[in-house]
Amino acid sequence: MMTKAKKKPRKRKPRIDDPYAEEQRQIKIKALKEKRQKIIDEVKLSLESRRRDKIILQNAFFDKESKLRRKTLRDSKKEGSEKIMLEIREDLSKIIETGIKCVYTSVIIPEKIKYDGRSILSIKGVKYRLKNNLHIVGWGKEAVTMSSAFERIVGKQLRKGWMVVPRKSIFMMWSFPEAFPPLNSRITYIEAGTDGNPDEKSVRATRQIINYVKKLKKRDLLIVMLSQEIDDLLCCPRDTITLRDKLRVLTRLNKAEATPEEINIVRNKLSAIRGGDLARFAYPARIVILITSNVSDKPMTHLLGGPCIYDPKAEKALEILTKYKLIDRVPLSIKELVEETVPWIMAADKQLDADKNYKFVREFVIACNADAMECMAMESYKLGLFPIKLNSTCFGDIQEFAREYVKMTSLMILAVEGKINKLEMWQEMRDSPICPLTDEKVNEIFPAKDKWGLGLCLLLGGRPTVNLCPTPGRGGPNQELALYFSLYWYLRTQQYPILRGYTVWFLGGSSYGKDGNSDAVGAFGYQSLSTDIYPEYDKAFRSFQNAYATWWKLNEERRINSKIVEAQIKMKELEITKNRYADILPGRALANNNTNLLFLSINDEDELLELKTGNYYTFTNVGDLHIIRIVRFQCNCDSICHGHVEKVCTDSECLVFQTLSAETRAKFQYCCRLGLRKN
Secondary structure (DSSP) of 235-298: --B-TTS-HHHHHHHHHHHHHTT--HHHHHHHHHHHBSSTTTHHHHHHTTSEEEEEEE-SS-SS
Residue 447: pLDDT band with limits 50, 70, 90 = confident
- Polymer length of the chain: 679
pLDDT tens digits, residue range 65-82?
888 888 888 888 888 888
| For residue 639, pLDDT beyond 60 | no
pLDDT tens digits, residue range 146-165?
899 999 999 999 999 999 99
Q: CB 641: neighbour CB atoms within 10 A?
A: 22
Least confident interval from 230-239, 439-448, 642-651: 642-651
> Can you give the pLDDT at residue 78?
82
> Can you give the pLDDT at residue 613?
59
CB 173 within 8 A of CB 106: no
Residues 6+ apart with CB under 8 A from 654: 634, 635, 636, 637, 671
pLDDT tens digits, residue range 566-575?
888 888 998 9
Residue 290: pLDDT band with limits 50, 70, 90 = very high
| For residue 649, pLDDT beyond 70 | no
Q: Is beta strand 502-510 parallel, antiparallel or unpaired with respect to 522-526?
A: antiparallel
More confident residue, 2 or 335: 335
Concatenated DSSP letters of 21-81? HHHHHHHHHHHHHHHHHHHHHHHHHHHHHHHHHHHHHHHHHHHHHHHHHHHHHHHTT--HH
Residues 6+ apart with CB under 8 A from 543: 574, 577, 578
Mean pLDDT of 542-548: 89
> Can you give the pLDDT at residue 128?
93
User: What does the alpha-carbon distance between residue 280 and residue 268 come to, in Å, rounded to a whole number?
Assistant: 14
Q: Write down the mean pLDDT value for the chain.
A: 83
Residue 672: pLDDT band with limits 50, 70, 90 = very low
Q: Is beta strand 126-129 parallel, antiparallel or unpaired with respect to 522-526?
A: unpaired
CB 330 within 8 A of CB 260: no
Residue 431: pLDDT band with limits 50, 70, 90 = confident
| For residue 476, pLDDT beyond 70 | yes
| For residue 85, pLDDT beyond 50 | yes
| For residue 659, pLDDT beyond 50 | no
| For residue 460, pLDDT beyond 50 | yes
Amino acid symbol at 64: K
Residue 640: pLDDT band with limits 50, 70, 90 = very low
Q: In degrees rounded to 5, what are phi and psi of residue 389?
A: -85, 110
> Can you give the pLDDT at residue 4?
60
Terminal Cα distance for the chain, rounded = 132
Which residue, among 622, 627, 625, 624, has the nearest Cα to 108 in the 3D structure? 622
Concatenated DSSP letters of 76-138? TT--HHHHHHHHHHHHHHHHHHHHHHHT-HHHHHHHHEEE-SSSEEEETTEEEE-SS-EEEEE
pLDDT tens digits, residue range 90-126?
999 999 999 998 888 888 899 999 999 888 999 998 9
Least confident interval from 177-186, 269-278, 541-550: 177-186
CB 237 within 8 A of CB 272: yes
Residue 617: pLDDT band with limits 50, 70, 90 = low
pLDDT tens digits, residue range 294-328?
765 555 544 556 899 888 887 788 899 999 989 88
More confident residue, 173 or 355: 355
pLDDT tens digits, residue range 486-506?
999 999 999 888 888 889 999
User: What does the alpha-carbon distance between residue 286 and residue 224 come to, in Å, rounded to a whole number?
Assistant: 11
Give me the domains of the chain, ranges plus CATH numbers. 116-235+273-310 (3.40.50.10180), 237-270+311-345 (no CATH), 373-668 (3.40.1480.10)
Percent of the residues in the chain that have a pLDDT greater than 90, as a whole number: 33
Amino acid symbol at 628: I
pTM of the model: 0.82
| For residue 620, pLDDT beyond 90 | no
> Can you give the pLDDT at residue 655?
43
Residues 6+ apart with CB under 8 A from 566: none
| For residue 208, pLDDT beyond 80 | yes
**3-class DSSP assignment, residue 390:** strand
